[in-house]
Every structure is written in C-alpha cells, then in structure tokens.
Structure 1
C-alpha cells in the first residue's frame, strides 16, 4: 500500500477546486486542440468520411466544448461528436444536431459504442485514476481508431510517493500504447484491451503545478508484480 496519507477518493476529488480549474481546462478552440495534440483533427475526421461512413469523435474533459461547437459547424454531416466534462460549463451557439454534451465524471461514465477518434486535451491532469481512463479509451476505439491525449507520467505515483517514471513508460509501451516523453502525449492506434500492472489507491489534489505551470492532481497506485 502507499505510504502517502490523506489520498482522496473520486467523490472528494471531483469536489476539489483544482479539478474545476478553468485556466487550464478549458476554453480552447479547435486550433488549440490541434497544437496540443499534434493532430489536425478536422482533416483527420474528414479523411475518415471519404467513403460516406459515419464517424464518431469523443472528447473527454471537453471543458466549455468550444472546439466541439466549432467543429460541428464545419465538419461533414457524417461526423458525430460527443463531449464529456464533470461540470456543465458548455458555451456555444444552439446545440448542433450532431453534437451531444454530457455532464459526468470521465472516470465512471460508460460510452455507448465505439469511436473513431478519442481525445483529451490536458484533461488527464485532473483525473484520479488516469490509467483506468486511458485503458477505457483504448477499449472504446474502432479497430483502426485513434486515441490521443496529453499525459504526464510524473503525475502517476507509486507506493513511496515517487513518480512511476521510466518503468511506467515501459509498461505503457508493452501494452501497445505510444508515449512521447518530450511532448507528453499518449496515444493508441486501434482498439486494445489494456491491462496495466497498477492498482489505483487514490489521488492528491495538493501536488502543485505540473509541467503546464497549473496545479494538477497526482494519482497514486500500487504496482502489481507482472505476470
């Protein structure tokens, strides 16, 4: 078990002022998404509609949903968009018919079906069970779908409170995920059942600023022996 005391459970964490941080979280428009994720989202989705098939985009921790509102008015009608955020601060014009916004915890919300693209722009910094959300996203991809998110391995702590570090990076890559330490992005191409050797213990909302300069949440785990 962790030697760190005072860890928060999900309900306590979701009441934290750090989790509601609007400076980090979250008024970015589509160009900001493209920059943070290293992906031209509109071009990516348009390419997938080339044969007329329906395409689904899920944005976790979508904040005010500005990027989704912008995309909904420019993308082809085959693109369906879903945004999920803990707080109902969605700001945009009248809801487009292809956009669904959901107020829920991304740690417990269960998606309906699979998605061609799943994103999270700086949202994982505020999630308790970060590794659980990553695993769920990988499971909810189509066979050739893409998950990409900002993720800092230093926000994952193990039993003694130290960063999981290089060992976590190796575990992520062994599970079929791609992690880029320089850009601090995690991604997954194609649906996968991810099993990581970590048991979630709780979170710390007093961890202080992470690499973004904004206060973030550290997630604590016990590392299980690899099978």
Structure 2
C-alpha cells in the first residue's frame, strides 16, 4: 500500500522553506537543567568528555548555549564546534575553545574527528537524514559517541509509504542503537558504512512529528545491489 504522494524539493528549496528556516530548536537549550541537552539525551556529556583534549561537534546547534556552558567546564585544549544553518541570532563573544560555523549540515564536513557528536532534534529539519548519519559516523574518534534524535515516521519511500522500519533495521545492522522511548540513535566508535536506501528528496509539508512541531519528511528508494546478468 502506498502513502500520500507529495512534491519533493531539492536541498536549496528545503533550506529556504519556512519549516527549516524558522525552526527554533536549540535556541534556548543549555547543557544541564530542565531545558537541556542532558535532559533530552539522558547522558552526562561532561563525563564523556572527561579526557585529554576533548572534542565535541554539535550539529544543528542553534544558539550554541550548551557548548558555551561546556567551554567553561572543559580544559583549555578542548575543541568545541557548533554547526547551524543560521547560527546565533545575536553575536556574542566566543570562548577560545568554541568555533561557531553557519553552514548546512547536509554539505559541511569537518577536518578532524570528534569524541562526541550530538544532533539534538536537528535531524527533523534535514533532507537526507540517513546520509548525514552515515557521514557523521565517520567523523567519530575510535571511542567517540554519536547521539542524535531520530523519528522513523519521517522516513518514507518515494511513493510516500512508510520506510521507518527499513531505516531502523539498516541503522541497527550498521551498528547504531535506537531507543524508541527517547527517539534516540546512538553509535560508539568511528566507522564507514553505507545504508541500503538512496535519498530522492524532501517533503517540507510533512506536518508535525512526535515533538509537536512541523518537520521534514525524507524520501528514499531501496538501493539496488547485485550484478547484471
């Protein structure tokens, strides 16, 4: 059975859409407390970063408040990188350990590996969610940790039918863990992987997801494998 067919858009069109351009995720979210990364992820991030020269990459970082707060608690040789399509709306003095980058997470790539990579509710606004996850997996250090919120309901086949189960199965086969209660993907240790789904476009009119906020639908086709003959 197929789902509802919608017009899919390209990356430039998606990032100009009101759903992506006006999203407010992580604008106010700090490191700890009621509205925080610790609450959303269920992980003591500073404990994970208690190591020599720790490094943290936050994708879809919004105002970057969590990294700014972490900067004061981490050593001077820490490397903190915040990447967001818009970035901080009001420029503030940047701690020396923090680099803020205004760029699309769909095309940006780092020049170094990270001990921690987070994407707190950011995948909801990304077209090729699975592509970003496989790229981010290769950006980890040998014992690095990736944490990303993920909504399987947002993954669709090209005809609009549900592809969430296929996506979760593929991610688990690639080494990811998934907690459906928290809608949270985890991965430990860098790896190069390819998932058997090929991205074909995004639907910015997919409607609200489990957060109650409008989100993007990501559409795929099964990746063909095998040999001719």
Give the structure 2 partner of residue 170 of structure 1: 169
Q: Deviations over 1:121-173 (max 9, x none)?
A: 00000000000100011001011111011111111111321221222211111
Mapping of 1:54-93 within 5 angstroms? 54-91=53-90, 93=92
Per the normalisation by structure 2, the TM-score is 0.91
Distance 2:121 2:151 in 1: 9
Give the structure 2 partner of residue 10 of structure 1: 11
Distance 1:205 1:145 in 2: 32
Mapping of 1:191-210 within 5 angstroms? 191-210=190-209
Distance 1:101 1:4 in 2: 38
Offset of residue 195 of structure 1 = 0.7
Q: Deviations over 1:2-42 (max 9, x none)?
A: 98342111001111111133443432011210111111111
- Of stretches 135-144 and 92-101 in structure 1, the one that deviates more from structure 2 is 92-101
Mapping of 1:39-50 within 5 angstroms? 39-46=43-50, 49=51
Q: Deviations over 1:167-203 (max 9, x none)?
A: 2211111111111222110111000112101111110
Give the structure 2 partner of residue 179 of structure 1: 178
Distance 2:124 2:161 in 1: 17
Aligned alpha-carbon RMSD (Å): 1.7
Give the structure 1 partner of residue 31 of structure 2: 30
Q: Is the 8 A contact 1:65 1:90 kept in 2?
A: no
Per the normalisation by structure 1, the TM-score is 0.92
Distance 1:171 1:23 in 2: 30
Offset of residue 75 of structure 1 = 1.7
Give the structure 2 partner of residue 135 of structure 1: 134
Distance 1:223 1:90 in 2: 39
Q: Does 1:102 align with 2:106?
A: no
Offset of residue 93 of structure 1 = 4.3
Give the structure 2 partner of residue 117 of structure 1: 116
Consecutive unaligned residues in structure 2, runs of 5 or more: none
Consecutive unaligned residues in structure 1, runs of 5 or more: none
Aligned residues: 221
